[in-house]
Structure 1
Amino acid sequence: MESVSLADLPPELQLRILEYLEPSDVFRLRRTCKALHHVSRERTLWISILCRLMDQNTIFEPSFSIPRMSLLQLEYAATSPDRWLRLVHRGGIQNGSEEPMLLRPCHSVVLEDEDEDEDEDEASHSSTSILQNILSLHLVLGGRYLITVSDLWLAVWDLEALGRVDLTNATPLAVTSAIFNRVLLAHRTPDKQGLRILLTSYGDTTYDFYIYEIYPQQKDPKLLKIAQCTVGNTGLGMSIYSMSKNYLLFLRHSSLNLWNFSIGKWCSMSIDWRHHQTIVTESTIAILYDDHVKVWSIPEERHFTRDFAQTSGTAPSFPPACTIQIPSSEDQGVQQCEGLCDWYSGTSQRQFFDYQYIDSQYFRRFELHIHGDLSHGEIIEHDIISNFHDNPWFEPGLVCNNHVVAYWMAENRIHVRTNIVSTGRREKIKTAAEHHEIHDRETMNSSPECNGSTFILLADDSLVEEGFYLCNFCPFSGRLVYVHESGKVMIFDFLSRPPLDDSISLVYLSPRLVNEDSSFHQTPKPANVSELNIKSARLRQLPLDSNDRRRLGSPNSEESTATT
């Protein structure tokens, strides 16, 4: 049979094949194959690639207004995770051998309002009143929607206009009065087009849960309270919250509690209180302990029979569907456990978790696999991650293509580390010494793309670890949001935005790296914070070095790109 090259196939088949390629591979074909140049610029191709990457990374779909996006905007959006990973692999420290570099953002913005004289009611309120005394915030994965909670208001902001309009007098997309002093969680609605937001508060005798819902791309979006309940405060304390579809899960000492807020009922069961974390998949609940994981199926709706007011009695005990041993030879207990961000609960995303053992200098990353019938499962160890600081408080992990991104605060700096997670399974290793030996050998023999890379996203003497919940990062968009000590919301973009002129061709741009002692990235004092207002922000493209030009096919390079 005569072979047929890709260039000889009909355009519709070329398009279907290119849809499964990574964005960087499409650009390589565009630069090197004239026959594929036209199909590589098809808008439908980049819509398919962007939708695939959003699904792969569990991105909130309304983050991108795809029907209104130009070809250039689609290309920039689809290449964002790849540009972030190219950045961290090019300049981050490898294996803890050096001090991490400080990133220089492409754009810096302050979300504020200078007018503080407006009436503070739900019909007329200023951004200043909404942004005063922020207690927590959440940047929805995709980087477009920001949720802020103050002592009076819950607000959702649309950041799509950054760099396009003056946001110094910004107003939120939607706002409602709220009571909050405990936990903020955000999830997609089951149809993936809306957001559900959990707020909790507590007093001397009760815990209160509030579920809000918003569809941000509706013509007139509203924050609607769709459910609330009150639980008695027994003095045992609440811990480990997770929200998935129509369920809210929380642990209270030795009981696991599930609230089906769509029907207003709940169920509970007794568990061993020495747990570290939960993992909620599409159909299961897994509880993590020192050396094993217990797995239960999510109860059917008929089992949700109790009202929250019915708190008397001991919760029944149910045997787990399976118990899976964690491959560990550590003698010490677990000092810290962190999994993926709760945004991924109830999705098909791969289930990772990290353990740091007492007196250990490493984090050990595991992946949980559960058989479809819940009869058994497997836990695979992926990596040993160097711990660069004493007792850093890691935030839950974020997914960026085939990498897990973790960020933490130490020494008045926000650090970020990106580690690749292989799709294969590593052979079982019996001892910690064997782990370290294999880790060192792989470190020496592998390319930088196979190792973890660490950067400093922000260096600011005003940062305090107690306020770390006032910080959020989205690797897919390369955007960091945090609350400065002045109370202003700071937005840093580490990836370039598409030019206003769509006739300009796409070039992979990466933010500059600066030395640790550089003062560029120090957050300005309140007196100078206006310098970072969106009104004065200007889109700028960073110069490329010779390696960038060769790799990306810049028009100024010898290997000219066909994107001009």
Structure 2
Amino acid sequence: MSLLELEYAATAPRRWISLPECSNPKEFLPPYTTPRQVLIDLGNQEPGIITSLYLIPGGRYLVTFAWNWIGVWDLGMTLSTCVEDFQPLAIVPVRYDSMFLVHPTPDGRGFRIYLSSNVDAGGSDSNDSDGSDDDHEQLSEFVIYEIYPADDHAKLERIAELQKQPRHSLLHSLSDNRLVILHDSYVKIWDFKLNTWAAWTVEANLDCLQIIVTPKAVILIHTRGINIWATPLLSSRKPVFSEIHIAPVAPLFSISFPDIDLLGFGSYCEGPCDWYSGLPQPLLFDIADTSFPDTIARYKILLDDDLTKAELVRLSTTYFPLGDGVFEPYRFCEGTLVAWWSNNGDRVRGIRTSSSTPGEATDPTFVSKAELPVLKLRPLVAWLSDVEIASLSVPP
């Protein structure tokens, strides 16, 4: 079974709604197999504490991130099994700050992990600095790893890297074999398999919220609406992004939001996680507004395959208190976009679903509270703290 097939089977709405109410979780989990021991050589460094994680759609594999290592875990185990000696499927030393993306391989059987880390011009790791300003120019390094977790000897392989890039890129997207970056007023595309690239300048001071990539277009969502560019022919000139003066390119389409002139303070964009970038899914996103009352507006971008026509449509509006809550990256389940919202203060988890036609969003309705067992992963040492779901809100 491929990762995409696993994702489809595991994310059917009936499945993830019934999981918290299941009296016997073993019925829903694959049989446990003894994990193999995986060793890592970090030299004289102590393994860093896990600061971020990403659950691969389908729920079988978990990616964890620490400042000096990343790991891939196979969660195919029963809750009754002792997990004190639970080991990662694969692990590799890295330099990691806070930016990562995870995307399926083109064949759908593995996945890729993109990392961005900051280094100074002298090549030292920014994590080794004492935080003081020095004369070194701060740059970024882009690295991409690949793994096929179902292989007998699965391992994280470093398949591409791009060094000495300007620091503080704003938005990133990984699509097929291409990395798309918004840096200052520049959109940059890098095909890391062919080592080809393109770059152009966008409108200065464009307050961008999100980037969406399709096989033929790059879309920027900003506070006034959306801009759409056709993906240009890529250059093989070396080094990558070697242009000194990057020319501006007018978008094919510049579309304002259909109901507002400018998003207000406290508005932000949420949407599908980058896993779906470039895949055949509806182009959906939400604008959350935290002014009273709290609202979430769902929009859909209608874009013809030949890029001759584009439209921005507001599908629905949902009202519910966001408070100090945060959104998790959205997931698609059988063609339906599922938004996960959590309010840490009230320990409530909310689910909002919407298909791709107007008026079909469901308002989150609290129907039950399910206490789930706490799963503690203690890899090698106690690097990963408790993973717990305290409560769940689902629509009727």
Output the TM-score relative to the length of structure 2. 0.77
For 1:506, the equivalent position in structure 2 comes to none
- Structure 1 segment 280-429 matched on structure 2, within 5 A: 280-301=213-234, 303-308=235-240, 310=242, 313-329=244-260, 332-333=263-264, 335-357=267-289, 359-360=291-292, 361-390=294-323, 392-412=325-345, 415-425=348-358
- Partner-residue secondary structure (3-state), 1:231: strand
The 1-side partners of 2:376 and 2:101 are apart by 17
Q: Which amino acid aligns with 2:15?
A: R
- Partner-residue secondary structure (3-state), 2:51: strand
Specify whether residues 277 and 455 from structure 1 end up closer, same or farther in structure 2 by C-alpha distance, changes over 3 A only. Answer: farther
Specify whether residues 455 and 298 from structure 1 end up closer, same or farther in structure 2 by C-alpha distance, changes over 3 A only. Answer: farther
- Residue 150 (1) aligns with residue 66 (2): yes
The 2-side partners of 1:300 and 1:454 are apart by 50
Q: Per-residue CA shift, 1:437-486, capped at 9, x if unaligned? A: xxxxx9xxxxxx94333589999xxxxxxxxxxxxxxxxxx9998999x8
- Residue 242 (1) aligns with residue 173 (2): yes
Contact 2:370 2:392 (8 Å CA) reproduced: no
Contact 1:274 1:289 (8 Å CA) reproduced: yes
Q: Which amino acid aligns with 2:277?
A: S
User: Which ranges of structure 1 fall in alignment gaps of 5 or more residues?
Assistant: 1-50, 65-76, 89-102, 109-117, 427-441, 443-448, 460-477, 495-511, 515-564
For 1:254, the equivalent position in structure 2 comes to 185
User: Which ranges of structure 2 fall in alignment gaps of 5 or more residues?
Assistant: 27-37, 121-137
Q: Once the 2 structures are TM-superposed, how far is the Cα of residue 176 of structure 1 from its aligned partner?
A: 1.4
Q: Per-residue CA shift, 1:44-80, capped at 9, x if unaligned? A: xxxxxxx8xx9xxxx634669xxxxxxxxxxxx5685
The 2-side partners of 1:284 and 1:152 are apart by 35
For 2:127, the equivalent position in structure 1 comes to none
Contact 2:272 2:284 (8 Å CA) reproduced: yes
The 2-side partners of 1:348 and 1:252 are apart by 26
For 1:508, the equivalent position in structure 2 comes to none
The 2-side partners of 1:257 and 1:191 are apart by 25
Specify whether residues 173 and 330 from structure 1 end up closer, same or farther in structure 2 by C-alpha distance, changes over 3 A only. Answer: same
- Residue 121 (1) aligns with residue 41 (2): yes
The 1-side partners of 2:212 and 2:241 are apart by 27
State which structure, 1 or 2, has the greater radius of gyration over its C-alpha atoms: 1
For 2:135, the equivalent position in structure 1 comes to none
Contact 1:417 1:455 (8 Å CA) reproduced: no
- Partner-residue secondary structure (3-state), 2:15: helix
The 2-side partners of 1:383 and 1:482 are apart by 39
Q: Which amino acid aligns with 2:59?
A: G
Q: Which amino acid aligns with 1:325?
A: S
Q: Which amino acid aligns with 2:13?
A: P
For 2:55, the equivalent position in structure 1 comes to 139
Specify whether residues 172 and 308 from structure 1 end up closer, same or farther in structure 2 by C-alpha distance, changes over 3 A only. Answer: same
The 1-side partners of 2:213 and 2:264 are apart by 23
- Residue 490 (1) aligns with residue 390 (2): no
The 2-side partners of 1:392 and 1:481 are apart by 23
- Residue 82 (1) aligns with residue 44 (2): no
Q: Once the 2 structures are TM-superposed, how far is the Cα of residue 417 of structure 1 from its aligned partner?
A: 2.9
Q: Which has the higher strand share?
A: 2
Q: Per-residue CA shift, 1:352-381, capped at 9, x if unaligned? A: 111134635211111111012112212222
Question: How many correspondences in the alignment?
Answer: 358
- Structure 1 segment 412-561 matched on structure 2, within 5 A: 412=345, 415-425=348-358, 450-453=362-365, 487-492=383-388
The 2-side partners of 1:143 and 1:308 are apart by 36
For 1:435, the equivalent position in structure 2 comes to none
The 1-side partners of 2:357 and 2:210 are apart by 25
The 1-side partners of 2:269 and 2:247 are apart by 27
Specify whether residues 392 and 336 from structure 1 end up closer, same or farther in structure 2 by C-alpha distance, changes over 3 A only. Answer: farther
Q: Which amino acid aligns with 2:269?
A: C
Contact 2:318 2:363 (8 Å CA) reproduced: no
Q: Once the 2 structures are TM-superposed, how far is the Cα of residue 241 of structure 1 from its aligned partner?
A: 1.0
- Residue 60 (1) aligns with residue 7 (2): no
Specify whether residues 393 and 341 from structure 1 end up closer, same or farther in structure 2 by C-alpha distance, changes over 3 A only. Answer: same
Identity %: 26
C-alpha root-mean-square deviation of aligned residues, in Å?
3.9
Q: Once the 2 structures are TM-superposed, how far is the Cα of residue 151 of structure 1 from its aligned partner?
A: 2.5
Q: Once the 2 structures are TM-superposed, how far is the Cα of residue 179 of structure 1 from its aligned partner?
A: 1.2
Contact 2:299 2:312 (8 Å CA) reproduced: yes
- Residue 271 (1) aligns with residue 167 (2): no
- Residue 166 (1) aligns with residue 82 (2): yes
Q: Per-residue CA shift, 1:131-162, capped at 9, x if unaligned? A: x5012211100100111122322211111123
| Higher RCO (CA < 8 A, seq sep 6+) | 1
Q: Once the 2 structures are TM-superposed, how far is the Cα of residue 322 of structure 1 from its aligned partner?
A: 2.1
The 2-side partners of 1:456 and 1:136 are apart by 29
Answer with 278-287 or 79-88: which moved more. Answer: 79-88
Q: Once the 2 structures are TM-superposed, how far is the Cα of residue 488 of structure 1 from its aligned partner?
A: 3.0
Contact 2:50 2:384 (8 Å CA) reproduced: no
Q: Which amino acid aligns with 1:343?
A: W
Q: Which amino acid aligns with 1:60?
A: L
For 2:108, the equivalent position in structure 1 comes to 192
Q: Which amino acid aligns with 1:367?
A: K
